[in-house]
Amino acid sequence: MIEGKENMLKTRLTGEEADSLEGEVTIGEAYKVLKGMKANKVPGIDGLTKEFYETFWGMVGIHLLGVFKEIMEGKEMTESMKTGVVSILFKKGNPQQLDNYRPLTMLCVDYKILSRILANRLAGVMMQIVEKDQTWG
């Protein structure tokens, strides 16, 4: 620790707030995130779309929660969750101009579900941990 900086953090989360960030992912929480995702998006390297997860949620949802639980307990994400496929897409205009292209990173839906759950949890306590004079939104 830097000397003299012991009390840098003025605001601390309550135990309940900390638990809300670190608690086990629930089936309802995961399904709500899944339902809120946009349809007809390109999947990641596993090829599993949002529509696949919605259609077979009754069979795969509980297994996905098991994966999330292991990750939250400190185990590594699966290789597919850690891999993004970058593709360069043409926007419009002159195809000879590099500025008319943009990169698109395709990520797996299981990764997106977990990352959105964690982002939602963090958003729930952001007002308590970020000073009013800082921007977070």
The pTM score is 0.80
DSSP state of 132: T
β-partners of residue 87 are 104
End-to-end CA distance of the chain: 29
- pLDDT, averaged in runs of 10, over the chain (137 residues): 55 77 91 96 93 97 96 94 94 95 95 96 81 61
CB hemisphere CA count around 50 (13 angstroms): 17
CA 29 – CA 70 distance, rounded (Å): 17
